[in-house]
């Protein structure tokens, strides 16, 4: 595992990433999705739940470095005026290289004319602010596991 990390680090330092973007769920190894979310410090579910949520989404983006899945995001939308972005995640060794920005940009480009909302993991707000997202004054949430979301800093 350490050797893989060092190879990734060297590739990132030399700029030799072979990024490939995919816009559907074909051939995704769903067992990797919760692993990437966990490594990125985000909440996650069983692989089958993620398969179902991504497959039911209006837009998906998966990004690979060569054949390795390194990040993804999805959006739900009416396709006309409103969209919500979820599950934006990039493996930590790949963070800070503009990949998350590209993923969000590709999601937004796939739903032209839509306004976008999202909720960021606490501490990740500056990333989205750099992409011109702004804090909402009137956002409300009703979570199934309200106590956990409060403990994580999502709600008051």
Q: Could you read off the pLDDT of 8-41 as tens digits, one per residue?
A: 343 444 467 899 999 999 999 999 999 999 999 9
How would you classify the pairing of strands 115-117 and 82-90?
Answer: parallel
Domain limits, the chain: 2-118
Largest CA distance in the chain: 47
Cα separation, 129 vs 12, whole angstroms: 25
> What confidence score (pLDDT) does residue 15 get?
61
Query: Which comes out higher in pLDDT, residue 136 or 55?
Result: 55
> What confidence score (pLDDT) does residue 146 get?
92
pLDDT at 100 over 70: yes
- 68-97: pLDDT as tens digits: 999 999 999 999 999 999 999 999 999 999
pTM for this model (two decimals): 0.85
Given the candidates 3.40.50.11540, 3.30.420.40, 3.40.630.30, 1.10.260.40, the CATH classification of the domain at 2-118 is 3.40.630.30
């Amino acid at each position: 595992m350490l050797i893989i990390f060092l190879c990734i680090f060297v590739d990132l330092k030399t700029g030799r990433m072979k990024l490939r973007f995919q816009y559907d769920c074909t051939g995704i190894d769903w067992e990797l999705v919760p692993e990437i979310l966990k490594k990125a410090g985000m909440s996650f579910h069983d692989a089958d739940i993620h398969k179902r949520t991504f497959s039911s989404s209006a837009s998906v983006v998966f990004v690979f470095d060569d054949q390795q899945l390194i990040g993804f995001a999805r959006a739900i939308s009416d396709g006309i005026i409103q969209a919500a972005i979820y599950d934006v995640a990039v493996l930590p060794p790949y963070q800070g290289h503009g990949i998350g920005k590209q993923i969000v940009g590709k999601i937004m480009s796939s739903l032209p004319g839509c306004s976008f909302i999202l909720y960021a993991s606490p501490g990740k707000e500056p990333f989205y602010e750099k992409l011109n997202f702004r804090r909402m004054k009137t956002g409300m949430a009703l979570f199934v596991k309200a106590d956990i979301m409060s403990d994580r800093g999502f709600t008051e």
